[in-house]
Amino acid sequence: MYWNARMECMPKEELRNLQFRELKTLVYRLYSFNNFYRERMKEHGVHPDDIQTLEDIRKLPFMYKKDLRDHYPTKMFTSSKDEVVRYHVSSGTTGKPTLVGYTENDIEFWTDSLARALTSIGIGTGDVVQVSYGYGLFTGGLGLHYGAERVGATVLPASVGNTERQLELMMDLDVTAIACTPSYMIHMGEVAKRLGIDFRRDTKLRKAILGAEPWSEGMRQHIEENLGIEAYDIYGTSELSGPMFTECEERNGIHVWGDVGIVEIIDPETEEPVPDGEVGELVITVLKKEAMPMIRYRISDLTYALEETCTCGRSSTRIGRISGRTDDMLIIRGINVFPSQVEHTLMNIPEVGEQFMIILDRKGALDTMTVQAELSPEHFSDKMADMMAIKKKIDSDMRKYLNISVNVELMDPGSLPRFEGKAKRVIDKRVF
């Protein structure tokens, strides 16, 4: 079943023509109304008239996350403030958040994209969808909420937390599908087990839409076997509006609707396109976006593209599971953390040196983050209260700036590894 059969199954050539027309319109619009992108194009020596074929997209300059931060809050908007009907905010990497604005049409495009996605995994009227993504500044909750309502499902806006109550509601209301992070899904499974709840026997749950943090095929298998459900990968970021695309029931790549976005996979070093099926950096152009259009946006996610039409009949480009990041951003319990933030925080704490290591692990379903830092000899005290105060200071600063609680380990000076050239300060022991 399709939500929009014409668009989803459009023959490749027709789809490419449509993409070209949309791209051209978008570039002209941006050149005319968006000072930032016009300047960027001028610097790059390219004019909208240079876009003569779809491949000419490669002549256009890239956009980066940094651009959004540099133009915070609304300097990159191409719509007037009156036209903006909603804001979402994603956690910043240097304390500065990224703001995304939506016009009424932007919300509509987003909702429609998710309606197609949910239909492609067989969710629609008759389903009860528990949305256990956070509602609020984060895009996950409201995005899935609108999408699920659009396809005619009944939505249970559970948000995150209070797992026992979530399980109770899941049983009482015959919930058939859930949207949440994979780690929260596992956590729910563990709580259910403790309470003697058997997902197969006691719930009607059959599908889970999981994303917002990296996960693996191994984790999918684990979830499916343990809970007796089908797990689907969902992809998106706030810059693209939010969660936008999912796998279909074939579960062979995430469908990026061709009329919504143009997918490029490039070699992050040479910035040249890589062949179909080969892993590279994902670059997305969102064709339908009014308040904050994104052209050749470098998300930094590593994946591969599949161009051939899917066995489900949908012709759009598919992307594989995100296999990593080109930069070193860490996602811990769904929160973005950069090692540079940790470094920045430690730099302002005189009691420790500038060397540090980050160790990520997983306890049960929860990610744990340990920060090792070297104690400055002059701040060593034989009094435990003083020592605990140092640990507490680091912990509270991390919480304040990274929005995450960490385990702090004080180390001897010189005991942490030193690096020549590019430092590798992260040890990720998590098994996905």
Partner 1 sequence: MPQRHVIKQISVFVNNEPGRLAKIARMLSEEGIDICAFNIAEASGFGVFRAIVREPDKAYQRLKERGVIVKETEVIAIPMQDRPGGLFEAAAVLGEEGINIEYGYAYSGKAGATFFIRVDDTDSAIKALLDRGMVLMQEGDL
Beta strands 98-103 and 84-90 are antiparallel
Residue 185's Cβ-count burial label (10 Å; 0-12, 13-18, 19+) is buried
Q: Quote the CA–CA distance of 252 and 307 in Å, as a whole number.
A: 12
The CB-of-381 to partner 1 minimum distance in angstroms stands at: 7
- Number of residues forming the site for partner 1 (CB under 8 A): 20
Per-residue contact flags (x/-) with partner 1 for residues 41 to 80, judged by CB under 8 A: ----------------------------------------
> Can you tell me which of 391, 395, 397, 405 binds partner 1, judged by CB under 8 A?
391
> Can you tell me which of 365, 387, 426, 427 binds partner 1, judged by CB under 8 A?
387
Residue 171 as a binder of partner 1 (CB under 8 A): the answer is no
Looking at residues 339 to 378 of the shown chain, list those that interact with partner 1 (rule: CB under 8 A): 375, 377
Residue 415 as a binder of partner 1 (CB under 8 A): the answer is yes
Q: What phi and psi values does residue 6 have, to the nearest 5 degrees?
A: -60, -45
Q: How many CA atoms lie within 13 A of 20 on its CB side?
A: 14
DSSP-derived letter for residue 313 is: S
Candidate segments 49-57, 82-90, 131-139, 386-394, binder of partner 1 by CB under 8 A:
386-394
Looking at residues 302 to 331 of the shown chain, list those that interact with partner 1 (rule: CB under 8 A): none
Tokens of 107: 């919300």
> Can you tell me which of 108, 149, 190, 409 binds partner 1, judged by CB under 8 A?
409
Tokens of 328: 């070193």
> Can you tell me which of 2, 28, 31, 380 binds partner 1, judged by CB under 8 A?
380
Per-residue contact flags (x/-) with partner 1 for residues 131 to 160, judged by CB under 8 A: ------------------------------
The CB-of-399 to partner 1 minimum distance in angstroms stands at: 17
Q: Which one, 331 or 360, has the nearer CB to partner 1?
A: 360
> Can you tell me which of 388, 389, 399, 403 binds partner 1, judged by CB under 8 A?
388
Site of tokens 């996905």: 432
Residue 381 as a binder of partner 1 (CB under 8 A): the answer is yes
Candidate segments 101-109, 126-134, 281-289, 407-415, binder of partner 1 by CB under 8 A:
407-415
Candidate segments 43-51, 232-240, 353-361, 401-409, binder of partner 1 by CB under 8 A:
401-409
User: Between helices 384-402 and 339-347, what is the axis angle to 10°?
Assistant: 130
The CB-of-403 to partner 1 minimum distance in angstroms stands at: 22
Of the candidates 360, 361, 364, 343, the one whose C-alpha atom is nearest the C-alpha of residue 352 is 343
- Where on the chain is the footprint of partner 1 (CB under 8 A)? 375, 377, 380-385, 387-388, 391, 407-415
